[in-house]
Amino acid sequence: MFIAVILYCSVITDPTSCDVMIRKNHLFETQIECQREIKNVAEGLLVTGHYVKAKCFAFNPYGELTWSNTNGFG
């Protein structure tokens, strides 16, 4: 499963103008599905003059141990 995260800023040199958008109530089954969704949202923000960075992260909603969180990187 994947979770979508978008960082968007009104002024690129002013971090106080930034906000984060997370689709916490909807996880995506595939990375492609997630990327398709964040692309649409990011394009909408770009049209309004925002600076945008969007990414999909692998997410385990069940809290089970995975390799990445057993080796000190998770």
User: Is 66 part of a structural domain of the chain?
Assistant: no
User: Is 13 part of a structural domain of the chain?
Assistant: yes
The structural domain count of the chain equals: 1
User: Is 50 part of a structural domain of the chain?
Assistant: yes
pLDDT band at residue 64 under the 50/70/90 scheme: low
Average pLDDT over residues 8-18: 94
d(CA 58, CA 19): 21
pLDDT band at residue 67 under the 50/70/90 scheme: low
User: Is 69 part of a structural domain of the chain?
Assistant: no
What's the length of the chain? 74
Domain ranges, residue 17: 2-61
Helix, strand, coil percentages (3-state) for the chain, rounded to 5, are 30, 30, 40
pLDDT at site 65? 57
